[in-house]
Amino acid sequence: MMNRAQLTLMMLLLLLGAPAGAIVGCGGGSADVETQVTELPPADPAAVREFRAGNRLMSRGTNRAEQRAIRRFRQAVEIDPYLWEAFYNLGVLYRRRGEMREAITALAEARRIQPGAREPLLALAEVHYALGERDEASTLLEAFVDVDPDAVEARVAYATILRERGEYDDALEQAREALIRESSNADALVEIGRVYRAREQYDVADLVFRKALDLSEDDRERQATLHDDLGLVALARGDTQAAFLQFQEAIQLDAQNKSARMNQGSVLLQAGDYAGAQAHYEAVLTIDDGDLDARVALGICQRGQGDHRQARRSYEGVLDDAPNHPAALFNLAVLKAEFLDQRPASREYFERFLRVAPSDAPQREMAERYLREIPAAAPRRRGRGSSGGAG
């Protein structure tokens, strides 16, 4: 019979190479965190067999194999409801497949059964983060770091959220504490570099990113991310050529790096190379066909090359999925006003854009100017034959 320690080790070995999310904890935003491992009954052999079968399927990475793995893990927890590792793997699979609420349910159950396990809590924080639920993720990570000060991974994840909130001093503190405990942690250096970039301290940010690059010789994906970060520093400095070269290096290291491709596309757009930019946006959509920003950018490329009909389809497709997407509304309005000879019809889209766009959006001034120039449609008169009139 396999004991719990052996089972956990098998699970961790299987998942060590699994793709990580943006950050890596419990449902409902609870701040109660334990690090003491709960002693559980020996695992049921039949459940372990289902668990092993699920692991083998999960490692294949195909859609069909993952569906079968989910069924195996469900069977495992029906046989042995204490098999928290199976609940954890269910959460990981649901997360991969975009089924976020199901992921939260499974990961919360894993954490309930084994509150001392770090993996379910970090995975829960990742799911909350991916859903935009920053408060829930932050609450979990802060509590976890309080009870386990040496949890470097959690500290770095917490630093990410703090930085995105603009709490730069606190983000630096968490990242530096992580480095004190693990001096070669490149992820902590990345967070420090991003804080300095946000503060417009570009020389320091560049230095920190290059230090992280030195620590990442064996990790091509992280190297690509760091070259992308260096490219953003160069862009902020106004050095477009240096930025282009950094983004190009990132793409050569990792062709699946969406951020580098989006940034390279932006550089090419600014240079008027619509065909070159389009190639990068199409590559992004090959990776993630639901990326709305890439679909809008593709429409801009199509418009720039004179394919106004396809550009309209691109913008309208985005608005079908996200009716209040500001960039799609603005670009469709401009397309109608300037390229499709539909100025009166563009007014509606400029108005919708102004209702949903952030107050500091740079396009607001242009949209307001268009609205001043485009007369509002005159109210329709009610004639004798109008509905509601005398028959």
Residue 317 pLDDT: 96
pLDDT at 301: 97
pTM for the model: 0.73
pLDDT at 7: 42
Task: For the chain, list the domains and their CATH numbers.
Answer: 1-127 (1.25.40.10)
Sign of the dihedral through C-alpha 325, 328, 331, 333:
negative
Radius of gyration of the chain (CA): 26
pLDDT at 377: 66
Q: Residue 114: its pLDDT value, please?
A: 87
How many other C-beta atoms can be found within 10 angstroms of the C-beta atom of residue 278? Answer: 22
pLDDT of res. 391? 32
pLDDT at 1: 42
The pLDDT mean for the chain works out to 86
pLDDT of residue 122: 85
Buried b (16+ CB within 10 A) or exposed e, 156-179: bbbbbbbbeeebeebbbebbebbb
Q: What is the mean pLDDT of each run of 10 residues along the chain (391 residues)?
A: 40 34 33 60 90 91 88 95 93 89 93 86 87 87 86 91 93 96 95 97 97 94 97 97 98 96 96 97 92 96 97 96 94 96 95 93 94 78 48 32
- Encode pLDDT of 311-364 as tens digits: 999 999 999 999 999 999 999 999 999 999 999 999 999 999 999 998 888 999
Per DSSP, helices labelled H in the chain are: 4-15, 45-60, 63-79, 84-96, 100-113, 118-130, 134-147, 152-164, 168-181, 186-198, 202-214, 220-237, 240-253, 258-270, 274-287, 292-304, 308-321, 326-334, 343-356, 364-373
Instruction: List, for residues 134-168, the tens digit of each pLDDT value.
Output: 888 888 888 888 888 998 988 999 999 999 889 99
Q: What pLDDT is stored for residue 31 in this prediction?
A: 44
